[in-house]
Structure 1
Amino acid sequence: MKRKNLIVLIGTLLLFVLAFTSASAQGGLLTETTARINLRAGGGTEWRVITVVEAGTPILLDGQAFGGAWARGIVPDGSVGWVLTNFLTAPRDQIATLPGIWVDAPFTLSPPAPNAAVPPPPLPEEPAAEPVEQPAQDGPVVTTNRVNVRGGAGTNFAILTTVNPNTPLQPNGRNLDGSWVRGTLPDGTVGYIFAQFLSISPGAIAALPPVEGGASVPQSAAQPGANPGAVANAPVAPLVNTSPVRGFSYGAHIAGLDSGAINRMRQAGMTWVKQQFRYQDGQDPSAVAGMINGAHANGFRVLVAVVGLPGQVNAPGYFDRYANFVGGVAALGADAIEVWNEPNIDREWPAGSIDPARFTELLRVSSSAIRAANPNTLIISGAPAPTGFFGGCSPNGCDDNAFIAGMAAAGAANFIDCVGIHYNEGIVPPTARSGDPRGNSTHYTRYLPTMISTYNSAFGGRRPLCFTELGYLTPEGLGPLPPAFAWAQNVTLAQQASWIDQAVSITSRSNVRLTILWNMNFTNYGADPMAGYALIRPDGSCPACDALAS
């Protein structure tokens, strides 16, 4: 009997070692849930619930955010998402050693086994001190040290005042990683305090809205006589995500980032916003700072499409001034820049000068400026307008297939990270390759798969594609479409929702880096019926968001 028990014990130990070795071999931290919890699409309760995980479920973590308050991992059924780390067996200080990651960082770990043996938490080197009772999460937040209150989330910001221990703070926001909390002091001062020196729980920090984003001019001069305080040696908190863009992501082109759009985009799992900026010759890049800061403050990456005025393109030295501008936009923290918009038609580029080789020259000088300012900014070539109107390419206009072929021949792949592409004329499902009832039904622009294959072929697959517009037009709930758009009169809202969902799925499995949906919340409905493409409808509903969320 003793021999049999010994064999069972050895076998159990071997299973434990094998499970732990497997998790260790692929990296990550293997831990276990302590309660029935939600697995979410991002680090915060505002993100949609992917699934519910039972207590005692193994989860293999690959990264964390908000100082370890939230972590991302994979459970045995293959679901990947974020969990509040208060409900994991691994201690928070151990989780905090995982790399800080952005919500759209690619996930590479394999699921743990359902019966994976989770290693016990590491023992402290010395006996733990008696725990100090902290205020309840819904109680008052006070400072725990003499600390500086600063004008921004970092020690490079000016000191507004210095406060003593037990000073009350009314929290009203946090920076993106949760290491700094913004709040109001009893005297009305609003500023930032390093979260380590506040009596506030990680969960309470994570529940605060992100309010800080973008870069500010550092102010190094402290107020005369101010004590540096306990935060003087605290690390400067990163205010924006500066990691390179990897993997597939999606988002939407926005008219503005109001709370309705923010909530719907998070519900749909979007991590990007796009805004277009109309550049005027000689303009300062600071004009774009609000776009970038607003997106980052709400946890989104941002694509800024910079398009100039056709009448200024041929002015002497214009390309260099445009390049300096987009370089400045990159320096402000733009995650991606689309260089121009639809340069193959005279609505956006001067008639008589339309030429893919000349546009490639603009890409060349712009790329140099962007790379010098911020090597992590994704450079996207301005997407041509999908058209077969011109029957080829001339100085007065080009079909998009001829234009991108000309760009490729001129060496555009050397100056971009991604080939810009638009698709917005579909009236059949995104899986279709035939069956469009309009004339010229075999033209590649009618179908999503043939648009993808046409653009991939032009560059020989050397660069991924970035859809900077992908949308389906429906008049439902808005009235008849103008004559030029009557081709979409019979598309329903249910079809729009289903097709958007399918299109995101299709592009995620193609040679596509980014898909920006056209559009989120535009309301114009005239000669250009932008509201017909909008995902958020006049009644506030968003069927496409519901489809993407499910």
Structure 2
Amino acid sequence: MNNQPRGLAIKILLGVLALWLAGAPVAQAAATAAEPAVLTVIAISAFVRATPDNNGAVMGAVFKGNQVTVLGRNVQSSWLLVDLPKFGTKTWVAAIIGTLSVDVATVPVVASPASAAVAGAAAPAKAGNPAVQDAKIAQSAIYLRSAPATDSQRVKLLSKGAAVTAVGRSADSLWIQVTTKGSKDLLWVLARFVELPGVVTGLPQIGKAAVAVAATPAAAATPAAAVAAAPAATAAAPAAAAPALVKIRSGSFELGGQVASFAYPDLMRQTGMTWVKRQVRWAPGAGAAGHAGTVTDAHSKGFKVLLSVLGDPQHTAPAYYAEYASFVGALAAFGADGIEVWNEMNLPREWLAGTISPVAYTEMLRQAHGAIKAANANTLVVSGAPSPTGYFGGCGTQGCDDAPYIAGMLAAGGLNYADCIGVHYNEGIMPPAATSGDPRGSSSHYTRYYQGMVNQYRSASGQSRPLCFTEIGYLSGQEWGTVPGAFLWRAPYNNTVAEHAQYLADAVRLARRQGNVRLMIIFNVDFTYWADDPQAGFAMVRPTGDCPACTAVQQAMAGG
């Protein structure tokens, strides 16, 4: 028998084994060296906070293009713990402000600290006054103002990189008092436009904290991706004692805004807003108690709160409806003044593809309505606003145009389970009173026009329920010179800033005069995200810190 082939095979096997053993430590090392999670900021600017919620102490800011190492996340993955030593050992940013280099699910969940101010890193000392910090402007074309308010006098325009000396802060740390070279004037600038070497809270406080405004009476007219992060678990303890309820007066028009940071309550109030909208994300097993703080925060600032409660498409099967209903019922018990039941459920990104159905949604709405009214009869129940579209050419389980979706929902008895019909409108480039003239294809389609949307939805409901615009916005990319291609409806940037302000005001005028809109939520007040989804372009507070829409809408609300 010839043993040569067998011997050769053994040698080859031993050689392969040796190579594998030699490479094993390297492979093992590669496997154990986890890729660091890095967040690249795509928002123009964003606050760094001491706790993972919008009420956390402001420690500083990050800016578009910054890259920060991510150390952890909260349970909802809506806030990220980041490594920014100059701001402190525990600093958080909202996940929506940037893109992660890794799947967020691979980032470890860390315990959330209580919502309280956290001592941060001390700023480099400045001769004569260690509390003063040398800083620079981090955003182009920013006005320094006479007072810490967006409607205060504009005094001086600074460009990106301009040096300032930070000498103080407002009580809420949203504004910084500064001086400029060669001037002794004490001026103010929004903290999110300033790059500091240390923490904002390290600056001395100038002035007193604002006194909380009591919950607005129903007859009063006083005034929002991002998803409201649940406050720390410590807020759940007093859940049994629900906040005082704000009664809803039926039949009257009211105005509100969707917020990201809720940093401008005074400005919203001056504009004529009485409502604030926050999004809440539900998932099976999630408790509602963590969101009680969102309700009490709105009420303490003098606003009613609309909670738009949505979730992942895979949780839209009928088996989940009862748990979802229990969740929104608990929110109503905490004093939520309005609840929108789901969001854009005619699209597969919001409702599981293959199961999209206005009849199925109506059953979810029925169960949610029952739970909400049982917990709080005064809570306004808003049917989820479908996405306005004619893309699908009808209605099927993979996707459904909004007109047949609304018709199907109402045919299934949806009017019995809603106080008003939810509407979204955010693609406008024409004055709200226009019903023709849009330069895009399908220019006669009703979704091109504010009045077209009103007419379509009122007709579908037989005018038996008022409309609630849970989103209305006009996109302007004027400050950027363009908008992303998917959102470019009229070159070069859709609407001018002046048109953005005028169209919002005109929509408010029409709604008040026609009497068919119960609630109008402007999308949005203060978003800063600008990338593939240009949310900052819809914002009333523009990247310069100005708010021309505030003045225009205020005049419309005053009858002008």
Deviations along 1:329-386, whole A, 9 cap, x unmatched? 0000000000000000001000000000000000000000001000000000000000
Residue in structure 1 matching 2:525, options 506, 520, 523: 520
Other structure's SS at 1:337 match: strand
Q: Confirm or deny that 1:251 pairs with 2:289.
A: no
Task: Check conservation: 2:340, 2:381, Cα contact below 8 A.
Answer: yes
In 2, the alpha carbon distance for the partners of 1:264 and 1:481 equals: 27
Task: Check conservation: 2:470, 2:522, Cα contact below 8 A.
Answer: yes
Q: Confirm or deny that 1:434 pairs with 2:439.
A: no
How does 1:39-118 map onto structure 2 within 5 Å?
none
The residue type paired with residue 509 of structure 1 is: R
| Structure 1 gap ranges (5+) | 1-169, 179-212, 220-236
Deviations along 1:405-459, whole A, 9 cap, x unmatched? 0011000000010000011111010010000000000000001111101001111
In 2, the alpha carbon distance for the partners of 1:286 and 1:214 equals: 5
CA pair 177-317 structure 1, distance change in 2 beyond 3 A: closer
CA pair 282-424 structure 1, distance change in 2 beyond 3 A: same
Residue in structure 2 matching 1:535, options 540, 543, 558: 540
Instruction: Tell me how many residue pairs correspond in the alignment.
Output: 327
How does 1:162-177 map onto structure 2 within 5 Å?
173=211, 176=214
CA pair 238-359 structure 1, distance change in 2 beyond 3 A: closer
Normalized against structure 2, the TM-score is what? 0.56
Task: Check conservation: 1:356, 1:403, Cα contact below 8 A.
Answer: yes
Map of 1:383 onto structure 2: 385
| Identical pairs, percent | 50
Other structure's SS at 1:264 match: helix
Normalized against structure 1, the TM-score is what? 0.57
Residue in structure 1 matching 2:295, options 292, 296, 311: 292
CA pair 428-216 structure 1, distance change in 2 beyond 3 A: same
Ranked by relative contact order (alpha carbons within 8 Å, sequence separation 6 or more), the top structure is 2
Map of 1:506 onto structure 2: 510
How does 1:112-511 map onto structure 2 within 5 Å?
173=211, 176=214, 216=238, 239-258=244-263, 261-314=264-317, 317-488=319-490, 489-510=493-514, 511=516
Deviations along 1:389-417, whole A, 9 cap, x unmatched? 00110000000001000011000000010
Task: Check conservation: 1:245, 1:335, Cα contact below 8 A.
Answer: no
CA pair 500-443 structure 1, distance change in 2 beyond 3 A: same
Other structure's SS at 2:544 match: coil
Deviations along 1:37-84, whole A, 9 cap, x unmatched? xxxxxxxxxxxxxxxxxxxxxxxxxxxxxxxxxxxxxxxxxxxxxxxx
Question: Structure 1 runs of 4+ off > 3 angstroms?
Answer: 170-175, 213-219, 237-240, 242-246
In 2, the alpha carbon distance for the partners of 1:453 and 1:479 equals: 34
Residue in structure 1 matching 2:549, options 535, 540, 544: 544
| Structure 2 gap ranges (5+) | 1-207, 217-234, 556-560
Deviations along 1:492-521, whole A, 9 cap, x unmatched? 000010110000111122311000001101
Task: Check conservation: 2:362, 2:414, Cα contact below 8 A.
Answer: yes
In 2, the alpha carbon distance for the partners of 1:301 and 1:376 equals: 12
Deviations along 1:143-173, whole A, 9 cap, x unmatched? xxxxxxxxxxxxxxxxxxxxxxxxxxx9974
Map of 2:13 onto structure 1: none
CA pair 250-304 structure 1, distance change in 2 beyond 3 A: same
Deviations along 1:219-260, whole A, 9 cap, x unmatched? 9xxxxxxxxxxxxxxxxx9845235454110111111211xx
In 1, the alpha carbon distance for the partners of 2:309 and 2:215 equals: 29
Q: How far has the Cα of 1:294 moved from its partner?
A: 1.1
Other structure's SS at 1:277 match: strand
Q: How far has the Cα of 1:214 moved from its partner?
A: 12
Q: How far has the Cα of 1:491 moved from its partner?
A: 1.0
CA pair 536-214 structure 1, distance change in 2 beyond 3 A: farther
The residue type paired with residue 254 of structure 2 is: S
The residue type paired with residue 498 of structure 2 is: A
In 2, the alpha carbon distance for the partners of 1:323 and 1:217 equals: 18
Task: Check conservation: 1:381, 1:418, Cα contact below 8 A.
Answer: yes
Task: Check conservation: 2:215, 2:303, Cα contact below 8 A.
Answer: no
Task: Check conservation: 2:309, 2:339, Cα contact below 8 A.
Answer: yes
Task: Check conservation: 2:243, 2:335, Cα contact below 8 A.
Answer: no
Aligned alpha-carbon RMSD (Å): 2.3
The residue type paired with residue 303 of structure 1 is: L
In 2, the alpha carbon distance for the partners of 1:427 and 1:243 equals: 33
